[in-house]
Copies of this chain bind each other. A is one copy, B any other.
Amino acid sequence: MRPTVTRLDRASLHGSLHDPVLGSIGFLNEVMQRHPGTISFAPGAPHPDLLPDTGLQRYVDRFVDHLVDDRGLTPERARRLLREYGPSRGLINELVAEALARDYGIAAGPGAVVITVGAQEAMLLVLRTLFGSPDDLLAVANPCFVGITGAARLLDIDVVGVRETADGIDPDCLAGLCAAARGAGRRVRACYVAPDFSNPGGGRMSLACRQELLRLAEREDFLVLEDNAYGFTAPSGCELPMLKSLDSTGRVVHIGTFAKIAFPGARVGYVVADQTVTGPCGGTRLLADELAVVKGMVTVNTSPLSQAVVAGMLLDHGGSLIALSRDKSRLYRRNLECLIAALDRHLTGAAPGVRWNRPDGGFFVRLRLPVPVTTGLLERCATEYGVLWTPMAPFYTDASGDHELRLSCSYLSPDQIETGVRRLARFLRTEVRP
């Protein structure tokens, strides 16, 4: 019907759209759609068994009752709150602040909390707010979640990768990057870490490393962006304190999400930012206030409806994030144990030169192959062997990950994991020779 359609040259679009990081996610989705029968170790999505089955209205009603009974609103006002626009900073900030204080010893208070459209928006807001100069650098653990490097790319923020050791990021490497930046007239403004079972690394930062990172942040004057999406999967009794709870000087901006402990479809996350911002006339606000202003220009506010559903689920668990996440934590640990046991059983000896890590929590295991992990290899594995995974290269800030792939076990059943690993073993035996 249309005579012509305007053509745009991709080269004229923003640079982030030429970035392989942003492209890689689309590619994976596309491969999955082309091969619907495969077992996919690719998506880091929550397990469908754990999604709330019915009763959205019940959760909403639970939150409305809470507003009436505990916060003194009239029922009419409480119901109306869910349907109107609302404050950019959110409606459920008190509940989140109380849970973080009770569960994790994070005593920042509701004024320091901003409710976001998932952790992703929180990352974007924090980066946009903090990075005021093109000379500001973002340091990230290498490998690193593509959500943060992608958000940095959207905002034209330069990223530097920090080497990881078995204990977490290498503080000497980070100190060296700070010195090098200074020498070049730049500075490391913030360092992003996921201290517990990071996506995709799977590693965990030791207590000593956490403390050293905070000391370094103080000495080198940068902020730490802590992303805690997977901390809830720690084996009971083996939890390590969150960076924010160790943060006596206010160096840490803490990012959390309900996607994994409630359900992803709500799209609710949060950020805790209790740093003081001093204005030109000496007035002070919290960093959270600045984040809320920026949020006004990104999404205005997080859906009050979604906030209500998540709050209702939290209230159903006594207002505790830990209680809300308990069943999920158990299931994910079971899946992870199944995956590691299956790898041990089927891959040991069968595929020379193939190695894997053994994280204590999280959704992910890393596999190192003796050959480069190409998209061609991924295609062949999906088509001929019926199993999918994620190449690790896009997670790296350099080329060091091109022999690695990531396996996610969050979305599968133990049977699927067993079958998938068997297929993977056949693929490796047949196609991968050192």
A interface residues, Cβ below 8 angstroms from B:
1-17, 22-23, 25-26, 29, 45-46, 48, 51-53, 56-57, 60, 79-80, 82-87, 107, 117-118, 120-121, 124, 128-133, 147, 150-151, 153-156, 223, 248-251, 259, 263-267, 274-280, 287, 290, 293-294, 296-306, 309
| Minimum Cβ distance to chain B for residue A3 (Å) | 6
| Residue in B6, B83, B264, B293 whose beta carbon sits within 8 Å of that of A17 in the complex | B293
| Minimum Cβ distance to chain B for residue A284 (Å) | 8
Query: In the complex, A305 Cα to B303 Cα: how many Å?
Result: 10
Q: Are A17 and B56 in contact (CB under 8 A)?
A: no
| Residue in B120, B259, B280 whose beta carbon sits within 8 Å of that of A10 in the complex | B280
Q: Give the oligomeric copy count.
A: 2
- Residues of the B chain whose Cβ atoms lie less than 8 Å from the Cβ of A280: 10-11
Query: In the complex, A245 Cα to B347 Cα: how many Å?
Result: 59
| Minimum Cβ distance to chain B for residue A370 (Å) | 31
Q: Are B296 and A25 in contact (CB under 8 A)?
A: yes
Q: Are A304 and B154 in contact (CB under 8 A)?
A: no
Q: Are A53 and B79 in contact (CB under 8 A)?
A: yes
Query: Can you sample 18 A-B contacts with CB below 8 Å?
Result: A5-B250, A6-B250, A8-B276, A11-B132, A11-B280, A22-B294, A29-B87, A45-B85, A56-B57, A56-B60, A82-B265, A120-B296, A121-B298, A150-B297, A154-B294, A266-B303, A267-B301, A303-B306
Query: In the complex, A408 Cα to B262 Cα: how many Å?
Result: 39
- Residues of the B chain whose Cβ atoms lie less than 8 Å from the Cβ of A259: 85
Q: Are B296 and A84 in contact (CB under 8 A)?
A: no
Q: Are A16 and B80 in contact (CB under 8 A)?
A: no
| Minimum Cβ distance to chain B for residue A348 (Å) | 34
Query: In the complex, A147 Cα to B295 Cα: how many Å?
Result: 11
Q: Are B297 and A299 in contact (CB under 8 A)?
A: no
- CB nearest to A79 among chain B residues: B53
| Minimum Cβ distance to chain B for residue A336 (Å) | 20
